[in-house]
Amino acid sequence: MTTAKDIMHPGAQWIPAHETLDRAAQLMRELDVGALPVSDADERLCGIITDRDIVVECVARGHDPSRVTCEALCHGTPRWIDSSADVTEVLGEMEGHQIRRLPVIENKRLVGMISEADLAQHLSEDQIAHFAERVYAR
Residues 43-77 pLDDT 10s: 889 999 999 999 999 999 999 999 999 999 988 88
Mean per-residue pLDDT of the chain = 91
- CA dist 65 to 20, 36, 54, Å? 7, 15, 7
In angstroms, the Cα distances linking 51 to 22, 66, 73 are 10, 14, 11
In angstroms, rounded to a whole number, what is the distance separating the alpha carbons of residues 56 and 51?
9
User: Residue 114's Cα: distance from chain center in Å?
Assistant: 7
Q: How confident is the model at residue 106 (pLDDT cuts 50, 70, 90)?
A: very high
Q: In terms of CATH architecture, what is 4-136?
A: Roll (3.10)
Residue 36: beta bridge partners? 49
Residue 104 above 90 pLDDT?
yes
Residue 138 pLDDT > 60, yes or no?
no
The pLDDT of residue 129: 84
pLDDT reported for residue 50: 92
**Amino acid type, 47:** G
Question: Cβ contacts of residue 107 below 8 Å, gap of 6+?
Answer: none
Q: pTM for the full model?
A: 0.86
Confidence tier at 134 by pLDDT (50, 70, 90):
confident
Kindly report, residue by residue over 30-52, the tens digit of the pLDDT: 999 999 999 998 888 999 999 99
